[in-house]
Structures are given as C-alpha cells and as structure tokens.
Amino acid sequence: MPEERFRKDGQGKWIVIFERRTKRNRPNVAPSVKSAIAAESTAPLLQPAFAPQNLERELVKRGIGPASAEELSLSHPSNRIQDMLELYDWYNGKGQSRGPGFLVQSIRNPDAIAFPPGFVSSSAKARKMQRQEATKAADEQLRTKRERQAAERDRTRQRAFMAFWESMSPDQQDVFETEALEKAEQMTRRLYLQHSAKRGKAFELYRKVILQSHFLKIHQLAIPETDRT
C-alpha cells in the first residue's frame, strides 16, 4: 500500500488517510439541452434522447441501485432505456408486477424482450409520426410535380395549336371552327352557342376548348411527358 496513505503520529501511533474515489465523468450536456430539460420540468420525464443524469434518476426511482443506474445510463442508448422504463411501468400499471431485475436485464439484453400486445413506446410513436410526415411530404412533392408536368403539357398543346391556327387563312379558320363545332360534345356546343351572341369571356373560353380539342383529335397530338418519374 502506498506510504502516503499512512502517517506516523508519535511513537506507536499511525494515522490512515482514506481517499474518496473519483466519480465517473458524465458526457457534457449542451446548454440548449439543459434549457430544454428545465423547460419541460412539468411534463412527463420520459422523452426521447434523454440526458444520462435524468435516466439514472428514473432508474433509481424504480429500485435500481445508484451504481448500477449510473452504469446503465452511461453504457446503453437512451432510447432503449426509455423504452424499457415505459415497459416496466406499463407492466406494473396493469398489475403485472416486474422488479428492478427485470428492468436491468431488459436494458442489457433487449433482444430477449418481446413487447406485449397493446404496448407502444413513445419512441415507436415518434418513429411512426416521422414516417407519416415523410410520406405526407413525399406525396405533396409528387402532387406538385404532377401539377407542374400537367401545366407544361398544357402549355405545349397551346403552343402547337396557336402555331397551327396562325398558319391558316381566315377562311380556313372559319372552316376549321365550323367542323370543330360539329364534332364538339353536346354540352360544350350548347354553351358555345348560348354565349355566341354576346361574344364575351365565357364564349371565348368555350370556343377555345372546342377549337383546341378538335385540333388535338385530328392531329392525334402526342405530348411527351416531362420529368417522367
């Protein structure tokens, strides 16, 4: 034993000096995390990515010794510890008693634990929500892409029609419009005729629909898909 732990104090008297063992250092917690934990002091303690200090305290509350609680909180993923704390509480809340040993073993050997029907951990709920949000974002992106493609196809059709229309003489345009009106759907033709006397915006709208539809039919215009998925 090192000599500095013993000191002679007169003849036949020795003093033994004991040193306190240094406690294991914990990982530093960023100030932002500390602030967030303080702000959530009134909320349920079990939250994802908890700091080891809080997990250690929760383990001790459930009957695990301080040394074991410290070792577990520093040696295992926080989400796993949180899941097992929730599972432990779930069992005991339903009258299916589980002791501290169950909690320790479930953290150390999670593969041996099967979550019972009806139990869903907060981390599982968070993952489900993240998947739903990701799916929603992907659907929105796809919808936007399809709308953009549809708008581009419409612009391409309009450009093709205008090039065709402007290439004809007025007499040819009249012949084409008469033919388009004869081939138009009954409802669209009725609305065209109904508004033809006033020649307003509604008439121009139905006229455009009839002319472009007939143009696409007779030319069987194939518009290439842009940005095909």
Token code pair at residue 25:
């250092």
**Start-to-end C-alpha separation, the chain:** 75
Section 88-107 average pLDDT: 93
Q: How many CA atoms lie within 13 A of 83 on its CB side?
A: 24
CA distances from 132 to 15, 49, 62, 135 (A): 68, 20, 34, 5
Burial level of 91, CB count in 10 A (0-12/13-18/19+)? Answer: middle
pLDDT in tens, 173-201: 999 999 999 999 999 999 999 898 888 89
Given a cut of 50, whether residue 1 has pLDDT beyond it is no
pLDDT in tens, 4-60: 554 555 555 555 555 555 555 554 544 443 443 344 444 444 444 467 888 999 999
Any idea which residue has 């739903």 for tokens? Answer: 132
Query: Residue 11: what are its φ and ψ, rounded to 5°?
Result: -70, 125
**d(Cα 56, Cα 156) in Å, to the nearest integer?**
65
Select the more confidently predicted residue: 112 or 223. Answer: 112
**d(Cα 116, Cα 9) in Å, to the nearest integer?**
65
Specify the amino acid at residue 201.
K
pLDDT in tens, 101-156: 999 999 999 999 889 999 999 888 888 999 999 999 999 999 999 999 999 988 98
Q: How far is CA 102 from the centre of its chain?
A: 33
Q: Are 31 and 51 in contact (CB under 8 A)?
A: no
